[in-house]
Chains A and B, each alone.
Chain A
C-alpha cells in the first residue's frame, strides 16, 4: 500500500511570495489533514477535510492560507503572501474516516521563508 505523498519536499521563498504544497493521501482515505510543525513544537492542525468538505479549519490563518480538496482525493495548501513565521514543516495526513482509524503521515514539506 502506497503511503501519503507530498511535494515538494523542500521549498525556499522570500517573504511576501506565494507557495503551494501538494498532498496525495492513501487510496480510499476519506479524511485528509494539513498540519504545521514549527521547529521545536508538535504538529498543529490547520485544516481537516472529510471527502471534499471542510470539517475543521478553526486554526487556519484564512487571511493568507487556503486549502482545497476539489475531487475528494488530493489536496493543495497555499500560502499567499508568506511571512517569516510561516517557516515550518507542513505535514499532510490521511485516515480512512472510521471511528478508530489511525492517521498516516506523509514525509512533509519543509518551507523556509527568507
Chain B
C-alpha cells in the first residue's frame, strides 16, 4: 500500500523568502513522485515529477524538488517566492508497476505575504 504525508497543512512566508514544503511517502514498491499545484477554483497543475535519473528535479515557476530514497522524502523548494505562488500544493506518488494510479497527500497551503 502507498501513503503520502504532508506534515504542514499551512505554510506562511514573506515574499522573496525561500520556502520548503515537506513530503514523505510510504510504499512497499518503487514509485514515481509528483508535485501538483492548485490555485483557487482551479484544477491541479503539474509542477514537476521524478521518474528516474538525477534526484534533483526542476519544475515550472522556479520550483525544484529532491528525491531522497533513504528518507522516503520528496520535498519541494523555491529560493524566492512571489505573491502569485499562493496556492495549495499536493505531493503524490504512483507505483511504477501501476503507473497512473495516483495517491495524493492532504495538501499544504502556501500563503505568501507582502
The interface size of chain B toward A, counting residues with CB under 8 Å, comes to 22
The interface size of chain A toward B, counting residues with CB under 8 Å, comes to 25
How many angstroms from the CA of A70 to the CA of B90 in the assembled complex?
Answer: 31
User: Does chain A have a CB within 8 A of B46?
Assistant: yes
How many angstroms from the CA of A99 to the CA of B41 in the assembled complex?
Answer: 30
Mask for A61-98, Cβ within 8 A of B = 1, else 0? 00000000000000000000000000000010101010
Q: Which residues of B contact A91 (CB under 8 A)?
A: 43-44
Contact B99 A99 (CB under 8 A): yes
Contact A48 B44 (CB under 8 A): no
In terms of DSSP, what is the predominant structure of the interface of chain B?
Answer: loop
A21 to chain B, nearest CB (A): 13
Q: Can you list 28 A-B contacts (CB < 8 A)?
A: A4-B43, A31-B100, A33-B100, A40-B107, A41-B106, A42-B4, A42-B90, A42-B105, A43-B102, A44-B104, A45-B101, A48-B100, A56-B101, A91-B43, A99-B99, A101-B100, A102-B46, A102-B49, A103-B100, A105-B36, A105-B44, A105-B45, A106-B43, A107-B41, A107-B42, A107-B43, A108-B42, A108-B43
**B positions within 8 Å CB-CB of A:** 4, 9, 32, 36, 41-46, 49, 51, 90, 92, 99-102, 104-107
